[in-house]
Amino acid sequence: MMKQNGISVENYTPILIVGTGISGLTAAYYLSKNNIKYTIVTKKNAPKQSNSFLSAANTRVPSENEVNNIINLTIDKCGADRSVIEALYRNSNIIINFFKELGIPYEKTSFGIMPECLIKSHGGKKLINCLLQHIEQPMCNKILIHLEKYDQGIIAIFYDTQSDQFIRIFTNYLVLATGGYAGQFCFNDNSPGSTGETLILAKKIGARLKGMSTVMCHPWSIYNGRQILLGGVVSLSQGKIIDEDGVQLLKDKYICDAIARDDYHEMIDEILKFQLECIKQKKDMYLDMSHADENVLNEKFKKYGFSPKVVKNKRIKITPTMHYSSGGIEINANAEAINLNRVFATGEAQFNGDLGIGRIPGQAFASGIVFGKLIADKIANEGVFNTQYQTSFKDPPETMHLYSKENNDFPIEEFQKKLSTLMMDLIASNPPVVSLSFLRKKIQESQNIILSRARGSGKRYEDILTLSFGYFVAMEIIEDLEAKSGLLSIQK
Ligand SMILES: Cc1cc2nc3c(=O)[nH]c(=O)nc-3n(C[C@H](O)[C@H](O)[C@H](O)COP(=O)(O)OP(=O)(O)OC[C@H]3O[C@@H](n4cnc5c(N)ncnc54)[C@H](O)[C@@H]3O)c2cc1C
């Protein structure tokens, strides 16, 4: 125990895994199998709070005949890095062995496998529950808020939301398994921890971020973004999207017809632009189900597990929702961060792709499992552990300045809403470079306001941290859009 610059606890661990989704738990599982000591932490109060737990765990496993096609498709259509994708799909036998070792029965799906479950969407729960029985007990309530490099590894500072203390952990190897940043948007179907702060921290110590403007936005969701509506339900509306007074909002007949045929995927960008305009004009959107057969409607809703209460007066209130983010830390074929020794990035925290929807379905679970094993193998083969570390400490980081026992009247929610609208605008409307530099200035101003005014402890401090990192994420999205538009003008 020590007290220095507000840090009250100090620890050493040879390997520090941050994140308890499929990617963090799999890395832990294979390290445990190799009898290598590690510490695994999450910011939430239970290890099951992750996107992985919410997921169906439909995991892509290409057959031998398909593997070249899948690799090329992922590179050409999603913009993934060749060496990483080769490492992923040429090692996908790891996935089958993983399910077998854990004793999890699986069923074949159109592109891979998923755990056999009574309720199909519970595959993630089954996998996570099982993995938790095979690994070290995760430490909960610890938010990673700062990283520093030292000769033998990394220093990580956490805020413990339960004990209200700062903790410094020295480690030789850091595994960032912290998921994506779709949770920074106000409409999203993610677990609340998906806010992307560790990508920003990794960049500050030398990692490269790529593709940050590639976020998959799904156009149809209910419960304010929390649950995605499937195409078969949406098409019952015949593409009629109306406002509260029943006035038709979507006027493009071509798009309406495509929605009616459940064949609108090429038009997602146009649909999102239309939805963003409605949000800006504060118009609620409803799928008009008035011409759908009552029995068919009920049947569909039961089948997909939606509450019939969602349909009121034959209308369903909808919003677009952010489903996953594809930008992240650039890695090599061993999942090591480019430019950053002894740091690994796995799962949604990795850069997955920057074209189209950024990654193909089922890739998230496949990469979490395959890279979890490759990381553990690499550390088992080459691990250099050295418990020597410096105890001197630089100035407390910016994130610690936001902490104070005394709260103030800073309007966090108002800033959160504005930031989320701005980010949605960036993703859906791809603004020109001139407006990007204007938005950049606005973001900097808001960030400065937060640094000078926002203070708090506990949950309030957590919200302020998330907001403050949200501005950095928005800045990264702008940087990526600028880079892309630079590329476009060169290509022209
Ligand atoms: C509803 C739904 C269904 C899906 N279905 C599928 C599917 O069938 N197949 C598929 O392949 N993908 C699916 N996906 C996507 C997939 O679930 C995710 O991409 C994947 O689970 C990400 O796993 P992960 O381990 O990288 O991160 P996550 O599961 O998101 O876990 C991140 C972990 O990091 C922790 N963390 C984050 N920041 C910090 C911090 N600062 N300090 C400490 N801890 C931190 C979080 O608390 C959490 O424990 C689905 C997603 C959703 C939302």
For the chain, give the percent of residues with pLDDT over 90. Answer: 76
Average pLDDT for 242-257: 94
Ligand 1 mean position to 225 CA, how many Å?
A: 17
**Is 171 in contact with 12 (CB distance < 8 Å)?**
yes
Q: For 85-103, give one letter per residue: b (16+ CB within 10 A) or e.
A: bbbbbebbebbeebbeeee
Percentages of the chain per state (helix, strand, coil), in multiples of 5: 45, 20, 35
Domain boundaries, the chain: 7-214+326-382, 217-323, 402-491
Note the pLDDT of residue 287.
Answer: 95
Rounded to whole angstroms, the Cα distance separating 436 from 430 reads 9
Q: 259 to each of 48, 263, 264, 273, 360, how far by Cα in Å?
A: 36, 6, 5, 15, 22
The number of residues in the chain equals 492
Residue 89's φ and ψ, nearest 5 degrees, are -85, -20
pLDDT of residue 3: 46
DSSP helix/strand/coil, 367: helix
- CB–CB of 346/27 below 8 Å? yes
Which pTM does this prediction carry?
A: 0.94
Q: How far is the CA of 289 from the centre of ligand 1 (A)?
A: 33
Which atom of ligand 1 has the smallest separation from the CA of 179? 27
- Token pair, residue 37, equals 């000591």
Which atom of ligand 1 is nearest to 22's Cα? 25
- Give the percent of the chain with pLDDT over 70: 97
Q: 7-214+326-382 belongs to which CATH class?
A: alpha beta
What are the φ/ψ torsions at residue 31 (nearest 5 degrees)?
-65, -45
Q: Of all protein residues, whose CA lies closest to atom 51 belonging to ligand 1? A: 55
Distance 21 CA to ligand 1 centre (A): 5
Closest atom of ligand 1 to CA, residue 25: 25
Q: What is d(CA 89, CA 67) in angstroms, rounded to the nearest whole number?
A: 7
Atom of ligand 1 nearest to the CA of 53: 29
- In 285-296, which positions are buried (b, 16+ CB within 10 angstroms) versus exposed (e)? bbbbbeebeeee
Angle at 82 between CA 426 and CA 490, to 5 degrees: 50
Cα separation, 207 vs 340, whole angstroms: 6
Q: Which residues line ligand 1 (CB under 6 A)?
A: 18-24, 41-44, 49-52, 54-59, 142-144, 177-179, 189-190, 193-194, 197-198, 324, 347-349, 362, 364-365, 368
Longest pairwise C-alpha distance within the chain: 71
pLDDT at residue 5 in the model: 61
Q: What is the pLDDT of residues 73-130, one digit of tens each?
A: 999 999 999 999 999 999 999 999 999 999 999 999 999 999 999 887 899 999 999 9
Atom of ligand 1 at shortest distance to CA of 114?
A: 8
| CA–centroid distance, residue 52 to ligand 1 (Å) | 4
Per-residue pLDDT averaged across 287-311, rounded? 84
